[in-house]
């Protein structure tokens, strides 16, 4: 009886409530997005099913203690890499390319699975393991050990990043980079290294973008035409007539015309393609206006805040690093996805976590949440002990 | 354990700071999102809302007036007359019910023309009845509705609407509905433009407020100074793009109901005459209602063209043709004669002065214009081509100026004979051969070209397929059997069959094998008159800027200068011999046309020609042999102003008396007469006009008459410059 009560207390109800809010938002948005009559099936029911599966994944994830994840991290990482390599060489009958990218396994009757969604989590675990192991092995921090840690982090990140860019899937690739960057930040590497490295990377990125804008002929041979088109249609969607340019214009019109209060549920007027998946935010922006859209962003912020709290409370540094990785991943997803619908960033095909329709993405995120649940669930036991020790 | 604790502490030392930093970054990023959302939704929200609610449609409004046509002395011959028009501009998504309401509202004000009312079909009335009666729901039972598809149900309803139902429907409403039902969204469409009365115009103007989409405007219609004269070549303008060219015109920005030139000059000069349309930007709201319309670019009227045709002369030529056909028909054996063609060119410039073709329907006693037949219908020319044959003989070295050949009855292997009309002429030279029209002389030129000499019944082992091509290339120098350069797509070049035996080449030499158009024959004789220079026939002399004030012509945009297509490769004295031969035809004591051209004020040179032709008699159900009577000529002989070709096909049939006069030579004579008569009339008019005008004309004439004046002027200028130094 007491144990049961304990279990109930140990369960992260706040996180569960946040996820429930996401479910509600997701169902409202998808149910409205599909009313253009453009799709055959009913995505609302399917999304409910996916959330059900997600709950199951969380339940399974909670069976393992964070320490077990730490032990399993390299195995999972290796497994993820193996799957990505296998996907690369898999015949098209089970890995049919979509939009020119070979990122999905086709499983008869179930649908498609995107291994890179899971690889992100495995990478977070592996990087967390690298950092915590490093700090255990090198008690004395010198510039050399710090460089070595940075090197290890980069080496761990490169294989999955390479495999994903091979697909090619720039969006997920950027997520991988964001995860790595976020974890480098929290890994404790000294500012003396982080500041120069990040500045160099950011200036190179900015330089590339500027060159693409002002001297496209310099880079045309290195960068594929469709990537250039992506940049141009982002900067000037009205005159650059491409699918993405048009998509951006309609998305802006949808969100913009929602104004402060929105047009109301199901009262949208603009047709934006990919509306139930990558452009789900345009539904929220159009129907619920600035207020609705801000609330959704606040829910995400609430999630991040909660994750930070979990990370700060965690008694094992590994747990904190995992949380940081998940924060980096989720933040990048939200910022990139919402940003692209309002012309803050170029369009890349990344879904809005928990809201966009899609099995793989939701499974991956739910797995991440499952680990957080697990951290929180097994946390209190240690907390008592730490408390007593303190 | 202790180690671990220290370890933990150590990490704790950096972790909270870094995590807080991470949180701060997240906070910044999310703030960025909210900030940007605020810009998009609050700052720019109104603009995006406007974008969503309004759709810009660039639509093309009315065509501007079409360019007009003038004849060679600047008389306006094709022009536009304004007429009142009532238009309707449908909304973006027109609903049949709304359109019917517009038609009903409009009906009390206008009466549609009879022909539009006639076009209303029973089916249209049924559609309207169904629209008015709840889609005819009561006509079908519930069971039927479940049983059949929508389309079938509508058909069922249509079948069940009876005349009893539809007889109450106003045909006038139906006619209006038919017009506006077919209108393109947002594009003004004419409902009525013919016979709009002042009353109708005023009534609708007053009630425009109650008639959304309806407007009153000014439209135009083509009008012709000389009625039907030359109308076949002037061409026609019709609303609606021609089906076979829809894509072509749409690519050029025409809309489906635009007026375009359908035939000949109107079509050929479409790009010049059409002008630039007024572009109107139409902004509609979500409901498809027009919110605002503004003119993006003001249109420009089409350009005017000045033709080379002299319409007064043309009218006379057409009249002559009509009269001569009517004169000839009563003669016996002349029941197949029903058309004739005449082309008059300026041999020096290629300007087409007249181009006439008339066809008579004896049963109906009506005339139709067949001017296009002058370049679309080809006939066997007969002896008119002999000038080209003689020049071919010189060019090929077969004969020389003055070569004498014997005119005799020629016996070909296989039993055919060739002889000239009348008795054998004996030994004759080239000029005589033309004067008396010797077939035998021509045939013997071909023998010489084949490197053979005529021996009765000797078999002809010639490479005759090569030779016929060679002959054709000689004739083509004159425009015979090739395009004349007039520029119309459907110009015929005539029939060119492969000969089945060498004998055919002999017939070819006197115009009884290939067929030619009247225009080709005119170009041929013009080339001889113009000392061997073949000129491109010109119908358009100038393109001019349109002038809104009707009295004067606008400034010249482009002036077309005569184009030499080629020069026949012969010596000048060779040409002069043929010209001499042509002179003899009319003026020589034995000339085949010596009885004609007596009444004309100038010396005429020319050549007659008769060719056998077959005409299918529908009643007899067999071909009947008839004759093409042709004439080519030019005048005056020493300084030609005009070159002309007359073709009268199927004149009389064999087996009876022939027409007792040469109808083509007679037409030719009257054409030359008419030309000088017209010229004189114009001079008199100018003289009468006023003193100044007279002087001007004289000056112009001097300049035109000879180039010497120009040279003199140049010299004078040069002199002045020298003096200045």
Task: Please give the Cα distance from B45 to A255 (Å, whole number).
Answer: 8
Three-state SS letters, B129-162: HHHHCHHHHHHCCHHHHHHCCHHHHHHHHHHHCC
* pLDDT, tens only, B307-336: 999 999 999 999 999 999 999 999 888 889
**Burial per residue of B367-391, b for 16 or more beta-carbon CB atoms within 10 angstroms, e otherwise:** bebbbbbbbbbbbbbbbbbbbbbbb
Which positions in chain B touch A289 (Cβ < 8 Å)? 41
Q: How many CB atoms lie within 10 A of CB B616?
A: 10
- Torsion B392-B398-B402-B408 (CA) sign: negative
Structure confidence at residue B551 (pLDDT): 66
Does pLDDT of B715 surpass 80?
no
Cβ distance B45 to A294 less than 8 Å, yes or no, reads: no
Please state which of the ranges A4-8, A84-88, B434-438, B710-714 shows the lowest mean pLDDT: B710-714
Residue in chain A closest to B29 (alpha carbons) equals: A335
From B253's Cα to the closest Cα of chain A, the distance in A is 22
CA distances from B161 to A25, B100, B131, B463, B649 (A): 54, 18, 12, 76, 57
Confidence at residue B265, expressed as pLDDT on a 0 to 100 scale = 92
DSSP-derived letter for residue B257 is T
Mean pLDDT of B202-231: 84
* Burial category of B138 from C-beta neighbours within 10 Å (exposed 0-12, middle 13-18, buried 19 and up): exposed
Q: Which residue has the tokens 């519930």?
A: B142
Write the burial class of residue B449 (CB in 10 Å: 0-12 exposed, 13-18 middle, 19+ buried): buried
Residues 361-380 of A with CB under 8 A from B: none
Task: Give the integer Cα–Cα distance in Å for B367 and B357.
Answer: 10
Q: Three-class SS of residue A388?
A: helix
Task: Please give the average per-residue pLDDT across A198-209, as a whole number.
Answer: 87
B383 flagged as catalytic: yes
End-to-end CA distance of chain B: 120
pLDDT score at B670 = 95
List CB contacts of A6: < 8 A, sequence separation 6 or more.
none
What pLDDT sits at residue B723? 39
Lowest average pLDDT, out of B75-79, B132-136, B633-637, goes to: B132-136
| A191 CB neighbour count, 10 Å cutoff | 8
CB A141 within 8 A of CB A190: yes
pLDDT value, residue A37? 56
Cβ contact A312–B48 (<8 Å): no
Question: Among B15, B30, B286, whose Cβ lies nearest the Cβ of A317?
Answer: B15
Please write the tens of the pLDDT for every residue from B295-308: 777 778 889 999 99
pLDDT for B408:
93
C-alpha A164: how far from its chain's center? 14
Structure tokens at A289: 């206006």
% of chain B exceeding 90 in pLDDT: 45
Residues of chain A with C-beta less than 8 angstroms from the C-beta of B22: 182, 185-186, 308, 324, 327-328
Which one of B354, B383, B420, B437 is the catalytic residue? B383
Q: What is the mean pLDDT of residues B526-533?
A: 95
User: Does residue B20 sit at the A interface (CB-CB below 8 Å)?
Assistant: yes
| Phi, psi values for residue B542, rounded to 5° | -145, 155
pLDDT tens digits, one per residue of B162-215: 888 888 888 888 889 888 887 777 777 888 888 888 888 888 888 887 888 888
Cα gap B509→B392, rounded to integer Å: 10
What pLDDT shows up at residue B287? 58
Of B537, B539, B532, B541, the C-alpha closest to B484 is B537
B287 vs A: CB within 8 A = no
Q: Does the beta-carbon distance from B19 to A344 stay under 8 Å?
A: no
Considering only CA atoms, give the Rg of chain B: 38
CA distances from B332 to B322, B568, B619, B648 (A): 18, 43, 18, 17
Residue A390 or B565, more confident? B565
Q: How far is B48 from chain A (nearest CA, A)?
A: 5
Nearest Cα of chain B lies from the Cα of A196 at a distance, in angstroms, of: 17
**CA-CA distance, B516 to A374, in Å (whole number)?**
101
- B423 pLDDT tier (thresholds 50, 70, 90): confident
Q: Using the beta-carbon criterion (under 8 Å), do A139 and B10 form an inter-chain contact?
A: yes
The DSSP secondary-structure symbol of B630 reads: E
Structure tokens at B669: 């004579």
pLDDT value at B701 more than 70 = no
Give mean pLDDT, residues B561-582. 94
- pLDDT category, A39, cuts 50, 70, 90? low
Reported as type and span, the H/E element at residue A110 is none
Nearest to A182 among B8, B22, B49 (CB): B22
Across the interface, of A186, A256, A269, the residue whose CB is closest to B40 is: A256
* A358: nearest Cα among A51, A146, A85, A89: A51
Q: With contacts defined as CB-CB under 8 Å, which chain A residues touch B29?
A: 331, 335
CA dihedral B173, B175, B180, B181 (to 10 degrees): 100
Closest by Cβ to B22, choosing from A254, A293, A327: A327
pLDDT for residue B277: 74
**B234 SS3 class:** helix
Angle at alpha carbon of residue A111, lines to A108 and A117, rounded to 5°? 125
Q: What pLDDT, in 10s, does the model give residues B263-272?
A: 899 988 988 8
**DSSP 8-state symbol, B657:** P
Residues A316-327 have a mean pLDDT of: 92
pLDDT confidence of residue B690: 54
Strands (E) located in B470-551: 516-517, 533-535, 540-544
* A 137-156 → B contacts, CB under 8 A: 139
CA distance B8 to chain A (A): 7
How far apart CA B446 and CA B410 sit, in angstroms, is: 13
Q: What homologous superfamily does CATH list for B311-532+568-721?
A: DD-peptidase/beta-lactamase superfamily (3.40.710.10)
Collapsed DSSP state (helix, strand, coil) of residue B251? helix
| Cβ atoms of B219 and B65 closer than 8 Å | no
- From the list A289, A317, A320, the residue facing B41 with the nearest CB is A289
> Cβ contacts (< 8 Å) between A194 and chain B: which residues?
none
In the predicted model, is pLDDT for residue B705 greater than 80? no
Interface test with A, best of B5, B23, B55 (most A CBs within 10 A): B23
Q: Could you tell me if B10 lies within 8 Å of chain A, comparing CB atoms? A: yes
> Can you tell me the distance from the alpha carbon of B606 to that of B402, in angstroms, rounded to the nearest whole number?
20
Judged by a CB distance cut-off of 8 A, whether residue B404 touches chain A is no
Residues 109..138 of A with a Cβ closer than 8 Å to B: which?
135-136
Q: What percent of chain A is helix, strand and coil (3-state, nearest 5)?
A: 75, 0, 25
Nearest to B538 by CA among B567, B512, B568, B559: B559
Exposed e or buried b for every residue in B187-225, given b needs 16+ CB within 10 A? bbbbbbbeebeeebbeebeeeeeebebbebeebbebebe
Enumerate the residues of chain B whose CB falls inside 8 A of the CB of residue A252. 40, 48
When CB atoms are compared, the residue of A257, A290, A338 closest to B38 is A290
Which of B19, B33, B44 minimises the CB distance to A256?
Answer: B44
* pLDDT tens digits for range A346-389: 888 889 999 998 888 899 999 999 999 999 888 755 444 443 33
Query: Is the predicted pLDDT of residue A219 greater than 90, yes or no?
Result: no
Q: Which of residues 185-244 of A touch B (CB under 8 A)?
A: 185-188
Is the link from the previous residue into A168 a cis peptide, with omega within 30 of 0? Answer: yes
Contact state of A258 with B41 under an 8 Å Cβ cutoff: yes
Q: Which residues pair with B230 in a beta bridge?
A: none
The A residues from 303 to 362 touching B (CB cutoff 8 Å) are 304-305, 308, 311-312, 315, 317, 320, 324, 327-328, 331, 334-335, 338-339, 342-344
With H, G, I as helix, E, B as strand and everything else as coil, classify residue B670: helix
The Cα B632–Cα B388 span in angstroms is 12
Q: What is the pLDDT of residues B674-685, one digit of tens each?
A: 999 999 998 888
Please check whether residue B35 touches A, CB under 8 A.
no
Helix pair angle (B708-724, B691-705), 10° resolution? 90
Please indicate if any CB of chain B lies within 8 Å of the CB of A280: no
B704 pLDDT more than 50: no
Could you tell me which of A29, A144, A126, A117 has the C-alpha nearest to residue A333? A117
Question: Do B354 and B310 touch, CB atoms closer than 8 A?
Answer: yes
Distance separating alpha carbons of residues B398 and B415, to the nearest angstrom: 26
Interface test with B, best of A186, A256, A268 (most B CBs within 10 A): A256
Average pLDDT over chain B reads 85
Q: Give SS3 for B205.
A: helix
Distance CA A234, CA A211 (A): 15
Helices (H), A238-378: 243-257, 280-313, 317-341, 359-377
Question: Is residue B717 predicted with pLDDT exceeding 70?
Answer: no
**Interchain contact, A257 vs B14, CB within 8 Å:** no
- pLDDT of B290 reads 65
Q: What angle do CA A171, A81, A174 make, to 5 degrees?
A: 15
Q: What is the spatial order of strands in the sheet that B642-648 belongs to?
A: B366-369, B352-361, B339-345, B642-648, B622-635, B605-617
A182 lies within 8 A of chain B by CB: yes
Whether residue B700 has pLDDT greater than 60: no
Nearest-5° Cα angle at A356, A353 to A361: 55
- How far is the alpha carbon of B568 from chain A, nearest alpha carbon, in Å? 58
Q: What is the tens place of the pLDDT at every residue in B69-123?
A: 999 988 889 988 888 888 888 877 778 888 888 888 888 888 898 888 888 888 8
Structure-token match 């999304």, residue found: A47
SS3 content of chain B, % helix, strand, coil (to 5): 45, 20, 35
- CA–CA distance from A41 to each of A38, A46, A106, A108, B609 (Å)? 9, 9, 18, 17, 84
Cis-peptide into B636, omega within 30 deg: yes
Contact flag B7-A315 (C-beta cutoff 8 Å): no
Measured between alpha carbons, how far is B137 from B249 in angstroms, rounded to an integer? 43
Q: Nearest C-alpha of chain B: how many angstroms from A341?
A: 10
Q: Residues, chain A, total?
A: 390
Cβ within 8 Å, pair B22-A185:
yes
- Residue of A135, A290, A335 lying closest to B37 (CB–CB): A290
Cβ–Cβ < 8 Å for A14, A306: yes
Give the pLDDT band (50/70/90) at residue A242.
Answer: low
Rg of chain A (C-alpha set): 22
Phi, psi of B514 (to 5 degrees): -75, 160
- Interval B487-502 mean pLDDT: 90
Residue whose C-alpha is closest to residue A345's, from A229, A241, A176, A231: A231
pLDDT tens per residue across span A127-182: 999 999 998 888 888 888 888 999 999 999 999 999 998 888 888 999 999 999 99
Quick count: other Cβ atoms within 10 Å of Cβ B175? 25
Distances (CA, A) of B391 to A257, B191, B446, B477, B528: 84, 63, 12, 11, 10
B40 vs A257: CB contact, 8 Å cut-off?
no
């Amino acid at each position: 009886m007491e144990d049961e009560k304990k279990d109930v207390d140990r369960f992260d109800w706040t996180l569960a409530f946040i996820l429930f809010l996401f479910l509600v938002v997701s169902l409202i948005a998808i149910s409205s997005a599909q009313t253009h009559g453009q799709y055959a099936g009913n995505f609302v029911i399917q999304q409910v099913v996916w959330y059900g599966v997600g709950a199951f994944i969380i339940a399974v994830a909670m069976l393992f203690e964070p320490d077990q994840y730490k032990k399993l991290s390299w195995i999972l990482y290796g497994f993820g890499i193996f799957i990505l390599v296998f996907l690369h060489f898999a015949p098209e009958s089970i890995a049919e390319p979509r939009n020119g990218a070979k990122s999905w396994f086709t499983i008869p009757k179930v649908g498609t699975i995107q291994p890179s969604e899971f690889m992100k989590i495995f990478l977070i675990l592996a990087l967390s393991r690298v950092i915590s192991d490093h700090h255990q092995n090198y008690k004395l921090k010198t510039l050399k050990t710090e460089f070595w840690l940075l090197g290890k982090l980069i080496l761990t990140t490169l294989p999955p990043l390479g495999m994903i860019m091979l697909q090619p899937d720039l969006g997920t690739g950027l997520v991988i980079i964001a995860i790595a960057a976020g974890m480098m930040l929290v890994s404790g590497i000294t500012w003396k290294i982080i500041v120069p490295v990040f500045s160099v990377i950011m200036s190179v990125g900015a330089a590339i973008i500027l060159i693409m804008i002002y001297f496209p002929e310099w880079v045309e041979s290195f960068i594929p035409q469709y990537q250039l088109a992506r940049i141009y249609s982002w900067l000037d969607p009205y005159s650059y007539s491409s699918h993405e340019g048009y998509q951006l214009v309609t998305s802006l019109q949808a969100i913009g015309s929602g104004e402060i209060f929105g047009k109301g549920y199901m009262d949208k007027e603009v047709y934006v393609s990919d509306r139930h998946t990558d452009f789900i935010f345009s539904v929220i922006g159009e129907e619920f206006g600035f207020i609705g859209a801000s609330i959704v962003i606040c829910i995400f912020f609430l999630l991040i805040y909660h994750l930070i709290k979990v990370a700060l409370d965690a008694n094992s540094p590994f747990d904190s690093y995992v949380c940081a990785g998940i924060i980096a991943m989720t933040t990048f997803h939200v910022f990139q996805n919402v940003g692209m619908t309002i012309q803050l960033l170029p369009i890349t095909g990344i879904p809005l976590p928990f809201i966009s329709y899609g099995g793989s993405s939701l499974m991956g995120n739910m797995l991440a949440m499952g680990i957080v649940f697990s951290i929180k669930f097994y946390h209190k036991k240690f907390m008592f002990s730490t408390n007593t020790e303190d | 354990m202790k180690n671990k604790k220290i370890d933990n502490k150590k990490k704790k030392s950096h972790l909270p700071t870094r995590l807080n930093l991470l949180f701060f970054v997240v906070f910044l990023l999310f703030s960025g999102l909210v900030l940007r959302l605020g810009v998009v939704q609050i700052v720019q929200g109104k603009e995006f809302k406007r974008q969503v609610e309004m759709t810009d449609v660039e639509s093309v409004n009315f065509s501007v007036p079409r360019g007009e046509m003038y004849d060679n002395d600047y008389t306006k011959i094709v022009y536009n007359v304004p007429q009142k028009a009532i238009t309707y501009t449908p909304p973006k998504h027109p609903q049949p019910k709304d359109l019917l309401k517009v038609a009903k509202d409009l009906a009390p004000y206008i009466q549609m023309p009879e022909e539009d009312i006639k076009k209303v079909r029973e089916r249209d009335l049924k559609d309207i009845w169904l629209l008015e009666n709840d889609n005819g729901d009561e006509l079908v039972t519930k069971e039927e509705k479940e049983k059949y598809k929508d389309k079938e149900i509508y058909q069922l309803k249509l079948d069940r609407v009876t005349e009893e139902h539809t007889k109450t429907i106003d045909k006038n409403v139906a006619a209006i509905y038919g017009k506006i039902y077919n209108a393109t969204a947002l594009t003004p469409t004419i409902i009525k433009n013919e016979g709009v009365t002042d009353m109708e115009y005023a009534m609708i103007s007053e009630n425009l407020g109650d008639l959304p989409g309806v407007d009153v405007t000014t439209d135009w219609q083509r009008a012709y100074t000389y009625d039907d004269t030359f109308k076949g070549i002037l061409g026609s303008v019709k609303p609606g793009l021609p089906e076979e060219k829809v894509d072509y015109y749409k690519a050029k920005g025409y809309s489906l109901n635009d007026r375009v030139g359908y035939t000949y000059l109107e079509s050929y000069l479409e790009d010049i005459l059409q002008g630039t349309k007024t572009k109107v930007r139409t902004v509609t709201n979500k409901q498809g209602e027009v919110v605002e319309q503004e003119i993006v670019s003001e249109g420009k009227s089409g350009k005017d063209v000045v033709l080379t045709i002299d319409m007064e002369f043309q009218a006379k030529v057409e009249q002559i043709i009509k009269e001569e056909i009517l004169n000839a028909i009563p003669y016996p054996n002349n029941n197949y004669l029903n058309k004739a063609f005449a082309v008059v060119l300026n041999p020096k410039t290629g300007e087409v002065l007249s181009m006439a073709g008339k066809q008579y329907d004896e049963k109906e006693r009506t005339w139709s214009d067949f001017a296009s037949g002058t370049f679309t219908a080809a006939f066997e020319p007969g002896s008119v081509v002999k000038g080209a044959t003689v020049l071919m003989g010189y060019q090929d070295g077969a004969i020389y100026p003055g070569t004498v050949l014997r005119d005799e009855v020629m016996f070909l292997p296989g039993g055919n004979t060739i002889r000239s009309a009348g008795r054998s002429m004996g030994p004759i030279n080239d000029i005589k051969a033309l004067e008396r029209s010797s077939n035998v002389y021509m045939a013997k030129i071909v023998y010489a070209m084949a490197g053979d000499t005529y021996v009765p019944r000797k078999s002809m082992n010639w490479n005759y397929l090569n030779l016929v091509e060679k002959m054709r290339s000689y004739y083509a120098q004159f425009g015979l059997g090739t395009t004349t350069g007039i520029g119309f797509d459907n110009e015929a070049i005539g029939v060119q069959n492969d000969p089945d035996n060498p004998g055919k080449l002999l017939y070819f030499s006197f115009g009884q094998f290939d067929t030619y158009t009247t225009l080709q024959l005119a170009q041929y004789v013009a080339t001889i008159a113009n000392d061997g220079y073949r000129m491109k026939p010109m119908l358009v002399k100038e393109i001019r800027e349109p002038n809104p004030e009707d009295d004067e012509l606008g400034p010249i945009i482009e002036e077309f200068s005569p184009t030499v297509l080629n020069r026949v490769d012969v010596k000048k004295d060779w040409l002069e011999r043929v010209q001499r031969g042509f002179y003899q035809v009319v003026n020589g004591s034995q000339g085949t046309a010596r009885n004609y051209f007596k009444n004309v004020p100038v010396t005429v040179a020319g050549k007659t020609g008769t060719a056998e032709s077959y005409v299918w008699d529908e009643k007899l159900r067999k071909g009947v042999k008839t004759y093409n009577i042709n004439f080519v000529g030019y005048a005056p002989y020493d300084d030609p102003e005009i070159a002309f070709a007359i073709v009268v096909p199927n004149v009389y049939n064999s087996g009876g008396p022939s027409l007792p006069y040469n109808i083509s030579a007679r037409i030719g004579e009257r054409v030359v007469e008419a030309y000088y008569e017209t010229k004189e009339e114009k001079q008199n008019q100018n003289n009468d006009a006023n003193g100044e005008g007279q002087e001007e004309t004289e000056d112009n004439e001097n300049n035109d008459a000879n180039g010497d004046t120009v040279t003199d002027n140049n010299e004078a200028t040069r002199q002045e410059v020298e003096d200045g130094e």
